[in-house]
Structure 1
Amino acid sequence: MFQIRELEMVHWDFWRAIRVPLDAQIVTIVGPNGSGKTTLLDALRTLLALKCSGRRDYKRYVRNNRENYAWLRGVVNNPRRQGGGLFPYLFFPATSDEVTLFCRIRKQGGDWMRQYAIAEGNVMLDAETESKVQWLGVNEYKRRLEQAGLTPAIAEVLALEQGDTDKLCEYSPKALLELVFQVFGDKEVLDHYSETKLRLKEAEAELGKLEQQLSQLGLDVERLRLRSNSYAEWRALQDDIEQLEQQAVPALRYVEQWESLRGYINQFKGSRRGLKQKQDELDLIDAEFRTVEQQQQQVLDDEQAARREYDEAFAAFQSARDAARDSEKTLKEAERLRQLAELEHGADAVALNDALGKKKDAAAQLKHAIRAMKDERQQLSEAQFALQQGRQPHPDFVRTMRAALDEAGIAHQLLTEIVEVRDNSWQDAVEALLAPYRHIILLNRASDRARAWEIGQQLRFRHFIVPEREAAGAAAPNSILEIVDFKADAPGWLVGLLNRTGRAKSVADGNRMDGDWITRDGFHKERRGARDISAKPGDYAFGEAARHARLAEVSRRLRDLNEHVLRDEGRLQELEREVSGLTQSLMGMQAVVQLAARQDEFAAVAERFPEEEQRAQQAGAALAATQAAWEETRNAREDGRIRYEKLKDQRGRLDGQVNVLIEQLSRQRDEQSRLIRSLRNTKAGLPAEMAKPAALRELKEKYGGSREVLHMIEHERARLAGGDWETDPTILARRDKLAGDYDALERDTQVHRNEVLRTGALTDEARAAYINKLRATVRAYGRNVKRLGELAGIDVELDLPQLDNDDLTLAQAGLSARFNFDQKGMMGLNDGEASGGQQVMKSLILLIGLMMDDANPSGFVFIDEPFAHLDIFNIDRVGGFLKATQAQYLITTPLTHNTNVYGPSELTLTTRKKQAGEQWAPVIAQTRRRVRAAETTTG
C-alpha cells in the first residue's frame, strides 16, 4: 500500500490554511486535549474517504470556520508493484513517484458535498487546480484507492473509534472474532445468513397455513363436482331430444330428397368435364402462342442489337484501317529519304543512321532492364527488413485480402504464423508437404465465415479461408505431426494430413511402411503414387528456419542485383556517349539532315506499324463476324413469324369450340337450378350447422333415416320422466369458480413449497461453502499476529475456533489469543496478569494484524495515544516494535507523557489550542529527528 508524505488543509475546522509534512515512518502528533490531534487524523480519514472518529463527520469540521468551501490535499508515494502485471504502479496509469490526492468540499443547495481527484506528481493547490484535475465521485475514488492497496479491511481498521486501538486485548473471544470477520468482510455475510434463516422460518409457517386451507377447499370442490355431474347428465338428455326433433329429423328428410337429385347432377358434371378438357387445350395453345410472341419480340431486339454491333465493328474497322494506312505512308516517306541519302552521300550515312537506331534501341532496353532490377531490389529490401524484424513477407494478393479482413473487423491468422518445425533436418519435407497451403487464412471466429467468404469472392482469393479449427491431438509415432508444433488451433484436415504422413529415411525405407510417407528431401508417396515435391530454400515459409533460409536467399539475390545494376549502368553510360557521337555526325551532313531529324518518328512508326496492321486485320475479321450474326438474327426472325401465324389460326378454332360448349352447359345449368331451388326451400328450414355436407353424411351414417330417429325420441322422454335430477343451472358456475380457486391455491402452495425447499437448501449449501472462507480468514489473521509477535520478541498463539455449519456453533464461536512476554509463560487476552505496557503490545499486535496483507506489505496506521499509562521501558519496547514493522504510523499522544514517547518518532507535529478571541487556530509546529552522518551513509 502507499504511504503519506504531506497533508494540506484549507478551512478545515479552525485551521485557515496549513500544510504539514508526513514523510516519515513514525509521525507523532502531540498536543494538549482539544488542540486538534484527532481533527488532524479525521482530515486524513476524509481525504481517504473513510469515516471520521466517534460521531463526527466531515461536515462538522467545515461548518466551524463559517466558510463556504474547504480543501484537503495529500501527497502520497506511488511505488512500483513487485509483481508488475496490468497495474505496475499503485495509482496506474500514474507512474510518477508521487501522487497528489484532492478533496474539495463546498456547500450546494444548503448541504455540504465532497468530490475527489487524483493527480500525477506533486501538484500544488492554487487557483487553477479546480479546472486542471479530473473530479471523481466517492465510489469511483474508493475503487481507485482500493486498487492502490486501501482495501475494505484496512479501511475498517483505520476508521476504528478513538481509544479502541489500544483496547483490543480487552475484547472477549467472541467480540474479537466478530471484529476479525467485520474487518475482512465476513461479518456482513454472516448477518445475511441469520436474516435468511429467520425469513425461512416465517415462510415455513405460512406454507403450513396454505396447505391446511387447500385441504378444506378440496372437500368443497368434490361435493360440487358430484352435483354438477347430475345436472350435466339431465341437461344432455334435454339437449339430445331437442336436437333430434329440431335438427336430425328435418336434415335426414333433406338428405332423402337430395339423393333423388344426384343422378341429374352426375349428368351435368359429365358435360362440365368435356368443357374443361377443351379449355385446357385452349390454355396450352394460348400459352404457346404468347411464348412465341415474346420470342418474336426478343428476336427482333437481338436483330437490332446485332445491327448496332455491326455498325460499331464497321466504325472500329475504318479507324484501324486509317491508322495503318497513315503509318504505311510514313514508312514509304522514310524509305524515300533513305534512298535520297544513299544517292547523295553514299552508304556511310545510312550505316551511321542504322547504327544510331541500334544504339538507341540497346540503350532503351538497358534502361528498362535497370529499372526492373531496381524495382526488384526495392521489393527485396522491404522483404529483408520484414524478415529481420521476425515477420514473413507475403504476396500482394495476400496483403490485400488481409487488409480487407482487418477493415471488416474479422480476426484471422495465416497458417505460416502458427506452424513451427522442431527438427530442422526435416524442414525440407515439411515445406514440401505444406507448400500448397502456405497462404491459407484461418478465422478466429467461425461466425465470421459468411462475411469472410464474400470478401474472398470479391477479391478472387484463390486459397482456402477456413472457419473450423481445432486443437492438434496426440501425434502418431514417426509422423510429420510429431516434429511440428502449432501455436494455435489448426484445421482438422491439415492435422490429419500431417499425422498420417510418415517420415521415411529413404525410398527403400518408405517401401516398408504402410500408408503415406515423405523423405527428408521431399520425395512424397500418397494414394495416387509417388513424386518429388521438394521446395527451394528461398521459398520456405514455415517456422524460424524458413525465415532464416528466406533471409539468406534475399541477401544473396540483393548482392547479385547490386552487381548487375552497377555493371549495366556503366554500359548505359557508354551507349549514351556513342549515341551522342553518332547523332552529331549525322546532323553535320546536309543530305541526311531530314532523315536524322525524323529518325525517332520513323522508328516509332516502324515499331507500331505491325501492331496497327494486325489490329486492322482483326477489326476486319470482327466486322465479318458481326455481319454474319446480323444475317443469322434476320433469318431467325422470319422463321418465328411463320410459326406465330400458324399458332394464331389454331387458337381461333379452339376458342370457337369452347364457346359452343359453354352455351350448351348454360342450358343444362338452368334446368338443374330449377330442380335445386325446390330443394333449397327444404334446406332453408335447417340450422346452419346441420346443412353442411359433412354433418349430413354423419347423420346418415349414425341414424340411417328419419323413422329411426322418431323411435329414439320416444325412448329418451320416458327416461327423463322416471329419474331424480339436479336442475339448478348455477351449479356449474359455482363448481368452476371453486375449482379455479382450488387450482390457483394449489399452484401458489406448490410454488411456495418449492421456494422454501430451495431457499433452505441454498442457504445451507452457501453457508457450508463459506465456512472454508471463515477458516481461511482466521488462519490468515493468526499468521499475521504470529509474525508481528516475532518482530516484537513475543510468542503469540491463537486458539482457532470451531466453525461448523450450525447456528449454535457459529453463535458461540470465539477467537482466543495467548502471549508469552520474556519467556514468563503464556497469558490470555485480558486475564489480569499483564502489565499496562504488555496490554498495549497485545492490542497493537492484534490491531496491526488486521491490516497486514501479503499483497500490500507496507502502508500506514492511525494509532490514538498508544503510550498512555506506560512506563519508560514499555514505551521504548512499543517504539522498537513499531520501528521494526514496515508500515507508516501516525500516533497521537498528550503532552503529559514521558519524553521517551518521542524516541521512535522521526517527525513530531505539535498542535495548539485556539486562543480566545482568535478566529483561526495556530499553525502546527514541526520537529524532525536529525539523521547522523553514519546513518545517512549506510542508508
Structure 2
Amino acid sequence: MFHLQSLELLQWDYCQRLTLPLDGAIITVAGPNGSGKTTLLDAMRTLLGLDCSGGRSYKTYARHANADTTWLRATVDNRPYGRQTSTRPFARNLLYADQVTLACRIERNGGDWQRRYAMADGDVSIESMLQLPDKEWLGVEHWRRRLENAGLSRAIARVLALEQGQTDRLCEFSPRELLRLVFEVFGDQEVLDRYEEARRHQRELAAEVEAAERELTHGQAQLATLEARVNLYRQYQGKLRERETLATEVIPVLNWHEERQATAGKLRELHRQRLAARTQRRQRAEDHARLLRLLQERQAAAATVLALEAERHEAQKLQAQARDAEKPVEQLVAHAKELMALAAVEADGAELARRLEQLEQQKAAQDEQWRELSAQRKDAQGALDRLQGQRQAPPPPEVQRFGRTLRQEGIGHHFLADVIEITDEHWRAAAEGVLRGSRWIVVLDKPADESRAMALAERERYRHYVVADAASAPAQPASDSLLAILRFSAKAPSWLLRQLSNITRVADTQQGVRQGGEWITPQAYWRDGRGGRSVWSDPGDYQFGAAAMAARKASIEKRLASLDQQLTELAVQQSAVQRQHAAATEASKGHLAADELARRGEEFELARRQLPALTQARTAASLRWDALDKEHTTAVAANTRADGSYLALQKQLREAEGDLERHEREWGGRLEEQRGRAAGSRAQKKRFPAKWIATAVVQALYHTYTNAKQAELRMGAVQGELDTGHWETDPGVVDRQVLMQGTVGKQRNELDSRKASNSAAEEAVGNARERYIDVLRATIRRYRKNIVELGLLAGVDVSADLPHLDNDDTVLRQAELKVSFNFDGKGQIGLNDGEASGGQQVIKSLILLVGLLKDDDVPGGFVFIDEPFAHLDVRNIQLVGHFLKSTRAQYVLTTPITHNVEVFEPADITLVTSKKPRDARWAPPIGVLQRRPAPV
C-alpha cells in the first residue's frame, strides 16, 4: 500500500493555501481544541473518498472558505513495495512514476457542492491539474475503486474513518465482525470476487426462482379464482336446470302421481266401506232378529214375573191365614207357661218383685229397639220411594248441586256414572268396586272450559276430579281386561281408560298370583302395584246402568223385608212381655196364677194339643212363600236384564240405522268426487311423455325428493339460492380458465427450468465457497501471525483461536475470530470484556489495526488516529509511542497541546495548528516541526 508524502490545501475551511510535508512514519498534529486538527484529518479523508468524522461533510468545509472552488492535493509514494516484487501500488491504474499526485476539486454547482477526483504521474501542481480534460475527472465511486486497486481497501477505509476518541473501536468489534474485517483486508480479492459473483449469481437465480414461484403462485391463485368462478357458473347453470326440471317435470309428475295414489286409496277405502256397509246391513238384520228374540224374552220374563207375583201373593195370604190360626193358640200356650212360671214365684213376694222389675226392663229395651228398627225402615222406604220411576240411581246432593252450577255457567259436561254400562253381571261387583271412587268425575266437553270449571269446583269444594283430558274408549280392548265388559256412551278420562285396560280379569286369586301384574276377581279382590285389597260394595250402592238400579231396588226391598220381619218378631216379644208384666202386676195385687191355671186347665190343654199341627201348617206356608219369593226375585232380575238388553239393542239399532243412512249418503257423494278425480288424472297422464311417468323414473323421484311437497320446498330453496347467492353468470369465464391453465403450465415449466439452473448455481457456489474457505484459513493464520508478532513488540501475549469453517454459508456467517490478550502476565482478556485499562484498550486496538496493515511482502499503509493518547497516563503514552515506532506503518496522529510532552517523542513530523482569530478571514498558517535524522 502507498504512503502519503505531502498534502496541499487550497481554500479548505479557513485555510487559504498551504502545503504540509507528510513524508514520515509518524506525523503528529498538535494544537488546542478547535484549532483544526480534525479538519486536517477530514481533508485527508475527503481526498481519499472517505466520509468526514462527527457527522461533518466536505460541503461544510467548502462553504466556510466562501469560494467557488476548493482543492485538496496530495503526493503519495508509488515505488514498488516489497523485496520480492516490482509491482507499484498504482500500476493497475496505469501510473508508473515513483510519485503519484491525488487531487480533489470541490466546485459550487448551483446551490450545492460537487466533488471530482483525478490522479496523475509525478508531482503535478493544482494549476496543472486544471488542464486535465473532463474525462479524467472521476466521481467518488470510481475514485474509491481506483484507490482500492492501489491497496486502500474498503476495510482500511473503515479504519481510516474512525472518529475522534474512538481509537479503541477495533477491540469493541465482535469476534464475527473482526473475522469479516480481516478477510476483507487480507483475503484474495479474486477468490472473494469469484465467490461473491457465484453467490450473487446464485442469489439472482434464487430470486428468479422466487419470482417464478410468485408468478406461478399468482397464476395458480388466478386459476383457482377462475376455477371457483367456473364452478360457480356451472353450479348456477345446474341450479337453473334443476329449477326448470323441478318446475316442468318433477313437481307436476309427483303431484299427479300422489293425487293418483290418493284417489286410488280413497276408491279402495270406499270399496272397503261399501263392503263394511254390506256387512253392517247383514248385522243389522241379525240385530233385528235378535231384538225380536229379546222382545219375546222380555215379554216372557214379564209374564213370569206377573204369574210369580200372583202365586207369591196367594202364598202370602195362606201364610197369613196359617199365622192367624196359629197365633192365638201359640199365645194361649205361652200364657199357660207364663202362669206356671208366675205360680212358682208368686208365693215369694221378693222374688215376685224382682220378676216384675225384670219384665219392666225388658219392656223398655224392646220399646227402644222398636223405635230404632222403625227409623231404619223409614229410611229404607224413603230410599225405595225415591227410586220409583227412575231408570238410574240419583246422584248425591252435592253432585246434583255442582251439575246445576256448571249448567248455569254454560259449561258442557257429563258425569262418569251417566256414560258407563256394565255388560256382564257376573263381573258387576268387580267393576262397581273399581269404579266406586270415579263415579262422580266430571268430564268436560271442551278442554278450554277447564280453568272456569276448576274455579267453580274450588268454590263449591267439589271433592271429585274435574277432567279435561278425555278420550273415546278403544273399539276392541283386550278381551280379558276389565275394560272389555264396560260400554261407554261418551268420552272418559284417558288415565282411567289406561287403568281399566291394564286390569286383567281372573277366576280367583290363585290364578291372579300365578299370572302376575294387575288383576281382579269376580268377588272384587283387586291387586295393583301397591298390593291386593277387596273393593266389594253392597248391591244397594250399585250405580252403573239399569241393572244397577234393579239391584239397588232389590237390595232395598230385601232390607225392608228383613226390617219387617224383625219388627214382627219384636211385636210378638213385646206382646209376651206385656202379658207377663200384666200377670205379674195382677199377682202382686193378690190374683193368684194357680187359680187361673186350675180354672182354665182344659183350655190350656187343648191349645197345647193344637199348636204343633198349626205350627207345621204355618211352616209349610212360609216355606212355600220363601220359594216363590226367591223365584220372583230371580224373575225380576231376569226381566230387568231382558229389558235392559232389549232397550240397549234397540238404541244401538236406532243409532246404527242413522249412521248407516248418513254413511250411504256421504259414500255416494265421495264416490262421484273420486270418479271425477280419476278421470282428470287419466287426462293429465296423456299429457306427460311416457318416459316421465315410467315406474322406475317415478320411484327414483320419490327416492330423491320423498314427495311433491319436499320437491316444492326444494324448488323454493333453489330459487332462494339463485336470488340471494353470489353466482357467476358470464359464460366467457370457461374460456379464460382454459387459457389460464395453459399459462400456469408454461409458468410451471419455466419454474422447473430455473430450479435446475439454481441447482447448478448452488453447486458453483459450493465450489467457490471451498476456495473461499481455503483462502480464509490462510488469511486467518496470516493475521494471527501478524498480531502475535505485534504483541511481542508491545510486550503483550496475544493468542487467537482459529474458527470452525465448513462448506456452508450458515457456518461461515456464524464463524468468529476470538482474540485474547495477556498484559503483564495477569491472565487472558478478550476483545471487549471490560477488564482492560484505557491504555490496554488502545494497545489492543492498535495491535488489531496494525495487524491489518502488516505484510512482510507488501509493506506500507497509513492510519489516521484521532487523539490516541486521550485519557492515558505517562506510562501508557510511552507504551503506545514505543509500539507505534516498532511498526512499519505510517501514522497521522492528533493530540491536544495540553498533553504530556511524551506524546511528541515518537513523531517524525509535528504539525502545529492554531485557532483562527475572531476577526480574521483565514486561520494562521500551520507550523511544521520535523525531526532531524539521527547521525550515522
TM range (shorter): 0.3 to 0.5
The structure that has the greater radius of gyration is: 2
TM-score if structure 1 supplies the norm length? 0.41
* TM-score using structure 2 length: 0.41
